[in-house]
Amino acid sequence: KYYPPDFDPAKIPKLKLPKDRQYVVRLMAPFNMRCKTCGEYIYKGKKFNACKEMVQNEAYLGLPIFCFYIKCTRCLAEITFKTDPENTDYTMEHGATRNFQAEKLLEEEEKRMQKEREEEELNNPMKVLENRTKDSKLEMEVLENLQELKELNQRQANVDFEAVLKQYKELEEEQRRKEQE
């Protein structure tokens, strides 16, 4: 490119773009959902052309939260969902309902159980001791099972399959000879 000798980049005016500018992006549905107007199921991974915009006055630890607008494949009703960086997920805003997710509920239940256990241990030192003994017993059982599996693998490794097949063939030949006699 040619730059004239009197060129000054500071004289070029800056573009003033609005903060809530919408971009058209191609994305996949992040979860299974069902349209509220027509009842159409939209499965995870379905591709859409979506409008993406940054949500004003909302952020999580400095991370911007984005809002996506898609249209239902059957009735063209607008469906919106936002990013949820706190839970590394998405939240449904309106236009559809999110389908049941067993894995998410299971994770939440595990977290709740872990919190209860930690709170119990803080309040009761005997509970700490009981949990430690349970954990050590479980660890010993796992180690014993692992040792048994290793022994089984060693036994199977010592078996010579060729010799077993040869012996089986010899027995068959012997039976044939007896039948012929």
Whole-number pLDDT of residue 71: 95
Q: How confident is the model at residue 144, as a pLDDT?
A: 94
Compute the distance between CA of residue 119 and CA of residue 109 in angstroms, rounded to an integer.
Answer: 15
- pLDDT recorded at residue 165: 86
pLDDT at residue 50, as a whole number: 95
Tell me what pLDDT residue 170 has: 94
Read off the pLDDT of residues 60-95 as tens digits, 9 standing for 90 and up: 999 999 999 999 999 999 999 999 999 888 999 999
Q: What pLDDT does residue 131 have?
A: 83
Candidates 94, 96, 93; CA nearest to 74 is 96
> Which residues of the chain carry a pLDDT beneath 70?
102, 159
Q: What is the pLDDT of residue 79?
A: 95
Q: Which pLDDT score is estimated for 124?
A: 82
- For residues 110 and 107, give the distance between their C-alpha atoms in angstroms, rounded to a whole number: 5
CA–CA distance, 108 with 115 (Å, rounded to integer): 11
Query: pLDDT at position 1, please?
Result: 87
Q: What is the pLDDT of residue 24?
A: 95
